[in-house]
């Protein structure tokens, strides 16, 4: 199954990540005509922020050790906790069922969008992706294709690499969930605001090359996903 997650607040054709994730999804579906495909737009249907009931339930689950999702309801002690679990379980199940996760991640203020962070916070429920008997991650074989868009340049030669809290965060989060390092595939399009930001003038060619490179990389990944 391909789980396609968009998080750009821009729902128009101006969104670079939405254009690129749509291209990947189309190519994947052509190559996998019988494959299941799910699209979740975190702007159109936002994931509610966590409440105290979520954290209380999470701590109770942690005290029990590795508790699979099927056994969490037995630990719920209030209506508020039940509501948090109702919001969480479908997202956890959706992620657990995915063979490939496609993330559209624009850079907002040097990091990931709040809409995506809310989804990440909710699906990262204690023990949700841990095998109760072996302690191994249930996501170790999951492939994550992260489509990144940056208005400026943040590569090693840009002098701004230390301002990138987008990719390092995604690397840390996927590693924490047990996704193998080689199964995270970040693809970045940089200088995407070259047409509107005066200080980026003169870098149009580099921006076009970055976007073309991202499209090529995603086409290859879609063919093998």
For 128-139, what is each residue's pLDDT tens digit? 999 988 889 999
Measured CA to CA, the distance from residue 146 to residue 171 in angstroms comes to 10
**Chain segment 81-123, per-residue pLDDT in tens:** 999 999 999 999 999 999 999 999 999 999 999 999 999 999 9
pTM score of the predicted model = 0.94
Lowest mean pLDDT among 11-25, 75-89, 111-125: 11-25
Q: What is the pLDDT of residue 212?
A: 97
Lowest mean pLDDT among 122-126, 148-152, 197-201: 197-201
All structural domains of the chain with their residue ranges: 2-224
Give the CATH fold of the 2-224 domain.
Rossmann fold (3.40.50)
Lowest mean pLDDT among 56-60, 124-128, 149-153, 210-214: 149-153
Q: What is the mean pLDDT of residues 180-187?
A: 95
pLDDT at residue 225 tops 80: no
The pLDDT confidence band at residue 34, using thresholds 50, 70 and 90, is very high
Q: What is the pLDDT of residue 90?
A: 98
Query: Backbone phi, then psi, for 164, in 5-degree steps?
Result: -85, 105
pLDDT at residue 202 tops 80: no
């Amino acid at each position: 199954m391909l789980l396609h997650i968009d998080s750009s607040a821009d729902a128009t054709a101006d969104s670079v990540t939405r254009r690129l994730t749509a291209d990947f999804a189309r190519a994947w579906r052509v190559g996998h005509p019988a494959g299941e495909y799910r699209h979740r737009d975190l702007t159109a249907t936002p994931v509610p922020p966590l409440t105290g009931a979520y954290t209380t339930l999470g701590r109770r689950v942690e005290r029990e050790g590795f508790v699979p999702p099927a056994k969490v309801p037995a630990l719920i002690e209030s209506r508020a906790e039940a509501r948090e679990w109702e919001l969480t379980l479908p997202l956890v199940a959706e992620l657990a069922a995915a063979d490939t996760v496609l993330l559209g991640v624009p850079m907002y203020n040097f990091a990931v969008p709040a809409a995506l962070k809310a989804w990440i916070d909710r699906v990262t429920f204690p023990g949700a992706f841990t095998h109760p008997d072996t302690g191994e991650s249930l996501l170790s074989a999951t492939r994550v294709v992260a489509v990144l868009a940056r208005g400026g340049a943040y590569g090693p030669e840009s002098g701004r690499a230390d301002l990138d809290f987008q990719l390092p965060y995604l690397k840390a989060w996927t590693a924490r969930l047990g996704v193998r390092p080689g199964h995270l595939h970040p693809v970045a399009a940089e200088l995407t605001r070259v047409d509107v930001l005066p200080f980026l003038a003169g870098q149009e060619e580099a921006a076009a090359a970055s976007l073309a490179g991202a499209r090529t990389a995603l086409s290859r990944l879609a063919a093998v996903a």
